[in-house]
């Protein structure tokens, strides 16, 4: 759960979101239905929901235009800044990428957490990879 909260919420605010999610899970534990999925997936869905609500509550921060020479490795280190690339993804794409690549959930479990079908998860991941490929260029491989 902490991995998901860290990936979806910037800075130290992820801890607040995780605490809200655990509190919400505790308050509605009686609504958990094992027939609809595992407790882990239920908790991950609550964390994702709380992260989404957190983003809606926040005011957007102004984004400065990057210098023209800035590229994926503009710090000169040759490393890609994946966190910056992830900011270009939609909330839904970021959730799918995080659940699949960082939490390690299979597609069926991601579909449960995101309350959609496996085909939707597949297309969301495909779109996210295409966006990242476009933003990072082919050098990311």
Q: Which domains does the chain have, with CATH numbers?
A: 2-56+80-140 (1.10.10.10)
Burial class (CB in 10 A: 0-12, 13-18, 19+), 32: middle
φ and ψ of 39, to 5 deg: -65, -35
- In this structure, how many other beta carbons lie within 10 angstroms of the beta carbon of residue 21? 24
Please tell me the pTM assigned to this model.
0.69
- In this structure, how many other beta carbons lie within 10 angstroms of the beta carbon of residue 57? 7
Q: What is the pLDDT along the chain (141 residues), one digit of tens a residue?
A: 888 988 888 788 899 999 999 999 999 999 999 998 899 999 999 999 999 888 888 755 544 444 444 444 445 444 557 778 888 899 999 999 999 999 999 999 999 999 999 999 999 999 999 999 888 876 655
């Amino acid at each position: 759960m902490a991995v998901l909260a860290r990936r979806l919420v910037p800075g130290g605010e992820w801890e607040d979101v995780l605490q809200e999610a655990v509190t919400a899970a505790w308050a509605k534990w009686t609504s958990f239905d094992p027939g609809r999925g595992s407790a882990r997936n239920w908790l991950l869905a609550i964390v994702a929901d709380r992260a989404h609500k957190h983003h809606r509550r926040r005011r957007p921060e102004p984004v400065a235009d990057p210098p023209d020479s800035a590229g994926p490795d503009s710090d000169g280190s040759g490393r890609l800044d994946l966190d910056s690339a992830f900011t270009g993804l939609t909330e839904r794409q970021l959730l799918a990428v995080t659940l699949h690549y960082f939490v390690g959930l299979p597609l069926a479990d991601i579909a449960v957490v995101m309350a959609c079908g496996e085909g939707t998860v597949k297309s969301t991941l495909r779109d996210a990879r295409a966006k990242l490929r476009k933003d990072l260029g082919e050098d990311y491989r």
